[in-house]
Structure 1
């Protein structure tokens, strides 16, 4: 029996998306870096299709499948289930509908090997818009998904999530230091984790070209949907829940006075500049009409 400890644990969480899972499994097998172990968390989906897809591929005992009958209750709980079994240097969540460049792991591991103080590495990512039909997946277009300034900061993460799981390689020890994904968050759990991550240490931004691909299907429904579209209301609600909890902790420590001032100041400032623009537009119209008449 080998005592080899793989350097990377890849966690795929999936549920009844056989076509997408097949692509994700092939994506991992296509990596030029092969010192990895794969954990597939079947989060309440049918067992047979998942087992069949695994058996159709050659993993050389580097794959473990966890079937969760009835489901864990959230994507974050499923991610934890896989990540907590990791005995490797690095962990990454590879959702079943996303993909990598074949050199993703090779480049990302090398980046963290070269910077031992960094707690994680975030890859240059590209959104791929697609449509899933019964017999094929059709790409519809692409768009960059890169943090402003090509740097991962608390400043930007306070506004919205700038790093999705497919592009984030994390040192395994960091989970022990900052905690796991919050299983109570049915969505936005990766964003909440990232907020804790950047507070804990520096996250590298890696790649002159896209290395990770976040696949989106805006028109899809049911199992093929992305949570960012299919659970848009949930995203809004859980986003506010995360912010509200942090705000309450801040008020408990610092009082409410400064925030009351800032909220009113921002409101009045926005209203002032909005009024100025309205007045400018109103004054501009008569002069514009006069110029057109003179022509």
Structure 2
């Protein structure tokens, strides 16, 4: 098992992530920290403090100036992986202590699956100095608790902290797209599910996606701090796929569907407006008769 940790100038969060990995019940793993353009000293200090616990299982890659995207940083770590499985543990997320054990057991049992996705819970928190305070939780699972292309076409249903992939799969479908500064994990998941089955694991949450909705700067989540990038790169991925589809099948069917959907939405919108107006008129008439 290879664990890739992406980090940049978030020492309090990285400290928690490193301790989270060391707390796993499974010990047969290697970890690769990709310091993507951040200061060296805070990372090296945290690693050195836990040197005896690593037992030679951790390496650090300092990237001067940064890779340019989170996906390029993930690739740096994953391409060095020596384990049979790869998982990206971003510096602000956490696992249940038995995450690695449960995921590896599931993939060993189902050898035909290309990857495993864990039941996930969102943890809302606030970071003040070196201290994090939890302010709430919410479930984050695929509809029907299964991983399908149908759901992924709408939005990403699997975040990196919850996904364990067979190392051989990267050689078969390619790495994360380094040109995507956002939504790269979603684009990878679309290719992954086309390639094979992704099994869903866990009756209880095993992965915890930590979010800080109001944070600014380095401690923010990209889904909030870089929301415009998410929207633009989401469009880019969809447009690229549409272009490929049109090259193979022509544009006629899509032209029909886009107009059909527009007309259908407009029709039902008008119907609802008429019904609401009728209900209001009927209510006024009843009130008038009572008087």
Structures share fold, TM-score greater than 0.5: yes
- For structure 2, the residue ranges without an aligned partner over 5 or more in a row are none
- The number of aligned residues is 288
Provide, for residues 39-86 of structure 1, a one-character-per-residue CA deviation record: whole Å limited to 9, x for no partner.
000000000000000011121110000000100000000000000000
- CA distance in structure 2 between the aligned counterparts of 1:51 and 1:243, rounded to whole angstroms: 40
1:48 aligns with 2:66: no
Structure 1 SS opposite 2:177: coil
- CA distance in structure 1 between the aligned counterparts of 2:235 and 2:286, rounded to whole angstroms: 49
Aligned partner of 1:3 in structure 2 is: none
- CA distance in structure 2 between the aligned counterparts of 1:135 and 1:118, rounded to whole angstroms: 40
1:19 aligns with 2:5: no
- CA distance in structure 1 between the aligned counterparts of 2:54 and 2:276, rounded to whole angstroms: 65
- CA distance in structure 2 between the aligned counterparts of 1:141 and 1:180, rounded to whole angstroms: 34
Aligned partner of 1:168 in structure 2 is: 163
1:110 aligns with 2:105: yes
Provide, for residues 186-233 of structure 1, a one-character-per-residue CA deviation record: whole Å limited to 9, x for no partner.
000000000000000000000000000000011000000000001100
- CA distance in structure 1 between the aligned counterparts of 2:200 and 2:152, rounded to whole angstroms: 14
1:197 aligns with 2:192: yes
1:215 aligns with 2:210: yes
Structure 2 SS opposite 1:88: coil
Of the three residues 236, 241, 248, the one matched with 2:231 is: 236
Provide, for residues 154-179 of structure 1, a one-character-per-residue CA deviation record: whole Å limited to 9, x for no partner.
00000000000000000000000000
Change (3 A) 1:80 1:135: closer
TM-score (norm 1): 0.96
Aligned partner of 1:28 in structure 2 is: 21
Structure 2 SS opposite 1:72: coil
User: What's the RMSD between the two structures over aligned residues?
Assistant: 0.9
Aligned partner of 2:69 in structure 1 is: 74
- For structure 1, the residue ranges without an aligned partner over 5 or more in a row are 1-7
Which consecutive aligned stretches of 4+ in structure 1 deviate over 4 angstroms post-superposition? none
Aligned partner of 1:126 in structure 2 is: 121
1:286 aligns with 2:281: yes
